[in-house]
Chains A and B, each alone.
Chain A
Amino acid sequence: MANTFQFDPVELPPECKELRKEVRAFLKQEIDAGTFSPGGGRNENAALFARKVGAKGWIGMTWPKQYGGQGRSQLERYVVTEEMLAHRAPTRHYSTADRQSGPVLLRYGQEEVKKNILPRICSGELCFCIGLSEPNSGSDVFAASTRATKTDGGWLVNGRKIWTSNAHNADYMIGLLRTSNPTPENRRHGLTQFLIAMKSPGITIRPIINLTGLHDFNEVVFDDVFVPDLHMIGEVDMAWKQASAELAYERSGPDRWLETFQSLVELVRVVGPEPSERQAEGIGREVAHLATLRRMSLSVAGMLQAGHSPAAEASVVKDLGTNFEQALPNKVRLMAPVRGDSAPDSNDDRFEQALNYTTLIAPKLTIQGGTREILRGIIARGLGLR
């Protein structure tokens, strides 16, 4: 069966069960204390929450102790991540660094930078953003043109990044910058990853409000921004070789199938213990798809733990997962009971809130972190079609 992707079952070890209990207790305590609301609140303090999670040792928890990590397994990290997401905890201050930026630094960063930066990610202090997309380089990521030019002791950066989530809160960006032109043999050649301090002179951050009315996106303009040599990540011009490992981390996690889970939870609440046939069938179907995605996502965590770099498998999870989570709010909407004036709990609008929020964010889910079309191209390559 040459063409079948392998998703071997993973059994979570006993320490994961203990950890899950601990995370649930922590989250309950924080919800009770009003730090955040699982229904989604606007006044939550994500930076404060990051410090609390950091104090628990749950940021960068798989990294070596010498860099502030806990040396714990990918499976333990998986448990923490899925519990945070399922409870809609405000992880945005640290999630990018924990998932992506930290592992890149750990693997390709220079020792002095690792010693300085990684422990401050683990404590929940530092917030990261990712500088990939540009006005003329979206899915075609290797067409990036924001340029880093060699200068004395470092590089001068000029150009623009766009759709940069959380740039306005970030301390650092890991940016993909052009250091040479592509070669005729390899159009991916000539890009280098850099660690860029967002407070550097010459950086301008402009908000782009998204259709939910929130400020997440930004445009980041670089005007002769100095980046020291120490902040170059990996080999010059060879970023394309480093990218695929990163994508396996980015593309298989619980965030790729849990983003709209809250709508299903609230549907179960309004439907009550005795659903109609139609509602029971609909809920059952979504739960079965969700549970299967979780198994697959967990399996990829197992592959990462074993030291593999399952790029195609991760793309399968993200493709299935984001299609699922994108379609979910509309299915939930059509399963919901009609709630007129006579509904006994009509002042409880948790369902409407969850449905409205998830309906609004749904379009982005199959775009961010690699569009559906790009993912299917990667899967097709994994099948040997291209």
Chain B
Amino acid sequence: MPDSIIVDTATKIFQDLCEADTVNKAEKGEWPSALWDALEESFLPLTWVPDDLGGAGAEIADGFAVLRVAGRFAAPVPIAETLLAGWLLAQARIESPRGPMTIAPVHEDGNITIGGDNKLSGRARNVPFARNAAHIAVVATQRGEHVVALVEAKGLAISPGVGLSGEPRDVVTFDGATAKAVGVAPGLDPARLTLIAAAARAQQMAGALERILDQSVQFSLDRVQFGRPIAKFQAVQQNLANLAGEVAAAGAAADGAAEAIAAHGVASDITAAEVAIAKLRVGDAAGNGAAIAHQVHGAMGFTYEHTLHHSTRRLWGWREEFGNETLWAERLGRMVAARGADALWPFVTQGS
């Protein structure tokens, strides 16, 4: 179970400093420095970095719990990305610098290389928050071997883009840049980085789903039509009950992936299965859940002024990142088929 002090700290910071206006301004390009500074002062972005590498030295479960809260508040900062970068650097025993970070590549077929002189070459697409990051933690190949490199963002060619989430998703060209540090991380490759990153997105999505359930319930109690709150209509109640089920399932599935990574790391068949289950189930819930939330909110939820889209657009954007439902479903299906019919039940119950 995550540390409740860490979760409470995160909740308080987001409550105080991540308001609707903060999210809207961030989307127009204004960096939410008060929010980020408060997070950094409490060491939350370095939850996954051990003490001796400059971090908070907290548990894997704590970091995932922080991401659930961040997702609830549609936090427009690279908290997930900095957590992942810190984790990645720690795998190679590289000390984490302060400041916002991000990771590259975000696709399994990413192909960044490093020469003997620590000079990088290659390009990464859809890098989250690259323009806001002080450093990028990179998984690259050096002499055919996977390594982790710490690269300063200043001086890199960054071409800005925006994802469906409204968050920065930039193209970064690494050609000619020199890594500040390079370390070997045995067994780590873009695919395994994708595993933990998918689990991180699943947590953020579970948080965003919790938010849209809250908003939808409240809206249905406040909005009066035909002389009574629309919450009193059975058709609306059935929709909201359905949404509550999807939200609960998403939370449970996301926890499964987080637990597996905490217990088994990323080089484990159990983790591979649990992440597939989580990203797929949460992705399904995102699609179903966002549709219901919008239906309940009617035209008001379709305006820019309303904050529902802070969460629903992130759900639509995030479900596509680090493998969408189809990718993970096919992969999970192949794991099941390879084991055979009589191993299906043992597969479902593995680890328990």
A1-25: which have CB < 8 Å to B? 1-5, 7-9, 11-12, 16-17, 20
B264 to chain A, nearest CB (A): 13
Residue contact B237 to A380, C-beta cutoff 8 Å: yes
Q: Which of A17, A20, A264 contacts B344 (CB 8 A)?
A: A264
Residues of B contacting A: mostly: helix
Q: How large is the interface on B (under 10, 10 to 19, 20 to 34, 35 or more residues)?
A: 35 or more
User: Does A238 sit at the interface, judged by CB under 8 A?
Assistant: no
Residue contact A316 to B338, C-beta cutoff 8 Å: no
Residue contact A386 to B231, C-beta cutoff 8 Å: yes
- Give B residues with C-beta under 8 Å from A: 1, 72, 210-211, 213-214, 217, 220-221, 231-232, 234, 236-238, 240-242, 244-245, 247-249, 251-253, 255-256, 259, 276-277, 280-281, 284, 325-326, 328-338, 340-342, 344-345, 347-349, 352
Residue contact A265 to B245, C-beta cutoff 8 Å: no
Residue contact A274 to B337, C-beta cutoff 8 Å: yes
Q: Which of B210, B234, B325, B334 contacts A275 (CB 8 A)?
A: B334
User: Does A373 sit at the interface, judged by CB under 8 A?
Assistant: yes
Residues of A within 8 A of B341 (CB): 265-266, 268-269
B82 to chain A, nearest CB (A): 24
Known: A280-B334, A281-B329. A296 touches B238 (CB 8 A): no
Q: Which of A3, A281, A385 contacts B326 (CB 8 A)?
A: A281
Residue contact B331 to A284, C-beta cutoff 8 Å: yes
User: Does A367 sit at the interface, judged by CB under 8 A?
Assistant: no
User: Does A327 sit at the interface, judged by CB under 8 A?
Assistant: no
Known: A16-B352, A288-B280. A283 touches B337 (CB 8 A): yes
Residues of A within 8 A of B342 (CB): 265
Residue contact B240 to A383, C-beta cutoff 8 Å: yes
Q: Which of B221, B249, B325 contacts A384 (CB 8 A)?
A: B221
Residues of A within 8 A of B211 (CB): 1
Closest Cβ neighbor of A385 among chain B residues: B231
Residues of A within 8 A of B249 (CB): 289, 292-293, 296, 320
User: Does A277 sit at the interface, judged by CB under 8 A?
Assistant: yes
User: Does A282 sit at the interface, judged by CB under 8 A?
Assistant: yes
Residue contact A268 to B344, C-beta cutoff 8 Å: yes
Residue contact A379 to B244, C-beta cutoff 8 Å: yes
Q: Which of B214, B232, B244 contacts A316 (CB 8 A)?
A: B244
Residues of A within 8 A of B284 (CB): 285, 288-289
Known: A1-B210, A4-B248, A380-B238. A294 touches B348 (CB 8 A): yes
User: Does A295 sit at the interface, judged by CB under 8 A?
Assistant: yes
Query: Bound complex: CA of A7 vs CA of B281, how far in Å?
Result: 15
Residue contact A3 to B213, C-beta cutoff 8 Å: yes
A253 to chain B, nearest CB (A): 15
User: Does A344 sit at the interface, judged by CB under 8 A?
Assistant: no
* 13 additional contacts (CB under 8 A) given A281-B330, A284-B336, A295-B256: A1-B211, A3-B244, A4-B213, A5-B244, A279-B337, A287-B333, A287-B336, A288-B277, A291-B253, A292-B252, A295-B255, A296-B249, A380-B240
Q: Which of B1, B240, B241, B252 contacts A295 (CB 8 A)?
A: B252
A303-348: which have CB < 8 Å to B? 313, 316, 319-320
Query: Bound complex: CA of A86 vs CA of B347, how far in Å?
Result: 12
Known: A275-B333, A287-B277, A376-B241. A7 touches B344 (CB 8 A): no
Q: How large is the interface on A (under 10, 10 to 19, 20 to 34, 35 or more residues)?
A: 35 or more
Closest Cβ neighbor of B279 among chain A residues: A288
B231 to chain A, nearest CB (A): 4
Residue contact A386 to B232, C-beta cutoff 8 Å: yes
Residues of A contacting B: mostly: helix
A339-385: which have CB < 8 Å to B? 373, 375-377, 379-380, 382-385
Closest Cβ neighbor of A324 among chain B residues: B249
Residues of B within 8 A of A236 (CB): none
Residue contact B340 to A316, C-beta cutoff 8 Å: no
Residues of A within 8 A of B345 (CB): 86-87, 261, 265
B212 to chain A, nearest CB (A): 10
User: Does A299 sit at the interface, judged by CB under 8 A?
Assistant: yes
Residues of B within 8 A of A221 (CB): none
Closest Cβ neighbor of B280 among chain A residues: A288
A365 to chain B, nearest CB (A): 16
Q: Which of B231, B277, B349 contacts A20 (CB 8 A)?
A: B349
Contact with B along A239-280 (1 / 0, CB 8 A): 000000000000000000000010011101101111101011
Closest Cβ neighbor of A272 among chain B residues: B337
Closest Cβ neighbor of A264 among chain B residues: B344
Residues of B within 8 A of A274 (CB): 337
6 A-B residue pairings within 8 Å (CB atoms): A274-B337, A280-B337, A283-B336, A288-B253, A290-B348, A380-B240
Residues of A within 8 A of B210 (CB): 1, 4
Query: Bound complex: CA of A316 vs CA of B236, how far in Å?
Result: 16
Closest Cβ neighbor of B258 among chain A residues: A9
Residue contact B337 to A273, C-beta cutoff 8 Å: yes
Known: A4-B213, A288-B281. A385 touches B348 (CB 8 A): no
Query: Bound complex: CA of A185 vs CA of B234, how far in Å?
Result: 23
A291 to chain B, nearest CB (A): 5
Query: Bound complex: CA of A320 vs CA of B276, how far in Å?
Result: 20
Residue contact B251 to A4, C-beta cutoff 8 Å: yes
Residue contact A287 to B348, C-beta cutoff 8 Å: yes
Residue contact A295 to B253, C-beta cutoff 8 Å: yes
Residues of A within 8 A of B251 (CB): 4, 7
